[in-house]
Amino acid sequence: MEIFREIKSLKAFLRKKKLAQIQIGFVPTMGALHEGHLSLIEASRKHGLFTVCSIFVNPAQFNNASDLANYPRTETTDIDLLTRAGCDVLFSPSAQEIYPQKAGLRFTFPGLDTVMEGAFRPGHFSGVGLVVSKLFNIVEPDHAFFGQKDWQQFTIIRQLVHDLNFNLTLHAVPTMREENGLAMSSRNQRLSAEEKIKALVLYQTLKLAEAELLNGKTMHEIFPKLKALAENDSSVKIEYLTLANRHTLESVNTLTQKNQLVLCIAGFVGEVRLIDNILI
């Protein structure tokens, strides 16, 4: 696997691939890689694409300094995992390389960025929009792969690609889960063994909510009950449990539209903030 830290040398390398008509698949990440990320690399490879992965912990998308400082950074292991997964190129730039000067551009995604994550992490999706635009301009991929676990992020990037005419195809790859159902996440590395078991409550809450909704209950009816149940353990704090249209992210109260909805949850387990969702 070739490793690049500078935009200029990466672009020169990729230009040769493009001239040779080689199609590029791109997997942007913030590192601390797990099987979920590797499934994105695998999806790109399965499409027969020359696969570029980026690792960049993007300061612009963190609205909390300690969250940024505590974000796991495991580059040596990541390089090993990517090499074994058959990734062709790693782009791992410094913050100075991506932001040589403070960026002035701000993104808004009306209707999409003020709900759920947007309500709890102001500015987060502007930072995501900024860095993903930069990375798309640097790599110029034909295909880009994102995890379904960040469904709201995927919806916003779809809007970004549409609005800015990025010439690429987006793919959402299903969430990888531990055997017990816990969604794989880089943030899981910050959980103790005991917290890892407690963190399962997010997925369990999603499944309980799904069963209640299928029985005709409304979100207004079930939310207080399920929140209280999850928070029975004092180290768990649920921020939201939202049923929404999976394209517009408009919240809905009942299972009216089949195969059009997403049920999303976010919460803290100890100090670690986790998200999860299921498509319904």
Q: Of these, 28, 93, 118, 267, which contacts ligand PAF (CB under 6 A)?
A: 28
Minimum distance of ligand PAF from residue 79's CB (angstroms): 17
Which is nearer to ligand PAF, 63 or 204 (by Cβ)? Answer: 63
CA dihedral 224, 228, 229, 230 (to 10 degrees): 110
Q: Residue 147 or 222: which CB sits closer to ligand PAF?
A: 147
Cα separation, 135 vs 130, whole angstroms = 9
Residue 30 makes contact with ligand PAF by CB under 6 A: yes
132 is a contact residue toward ligand PAF (CB under 6 A): yes
- 171, amino acid identity: H
Using the rule CB under 6 A, is 184 a contact of ligand PAF? Answer: no
Q: Which of 4, 26, 29, 239 binds ligand PAF (CB under 6 A)?
A: 29
H helix or E strand, kind and range, residue 11:
helix 7-19
Name the one range near ligand PAF by CB under 6 A: 24-32, 45-53, 83-91, 99-107.
Answer: 24-32
Half-sphere exposure of 143 (CA within 13 A, CB side): 19
CB under 6 A: which stretch of 112-120, 127-135, 241-249, 253-261 binds ligand PAF? 127-135
Nearest residue to 207 via CA among 256, 263, 151, 275? 263
Interacting residues with ligand PAF between 41 and 80 (CB under 6 A): 58, 61
Torsion of CA 201, 207, 210, 215, to 10 degrees: -110
Beta bridge partners of 103: none
Which helix or strand (DSSP H or E) is residue 151 part of? helix 151-163
CB atoms within 10 A of CB 228: 10
C-beta closer to ligand PAF: residue 130 or 209: 130
Closest CA to 269 of 203, 180, 176, 173: 203
Binding residue count for ligand PAF, defined by CB under 6 A = 10
User: Which residue is catalytic, options 34, 37, 124, 143?
Assistant: 37
Q: What single letter denotes the amino acid at residue 149?
A: K
Q: Applying CB under 6 A, does 118 fall inside the site for ligand PAF?
A: no
State yes or no: residue 172 binds ligand PAF (CB under 6 A).
Answer: no
Residue whose pair of structure tokens reads 């816990």 in the numeric block? 182
Select the residue interacting with ligand PAF from 82, 131, 144, 274 (CB under 6 A).
Answer: 131
Q: Is 162 labeled as catalytic in the residue annotation? A: no
Residues lying near ligand PAF in the complex (CB under 6 A): 28-30, 58, 61, 128, 131-132, 150, 153
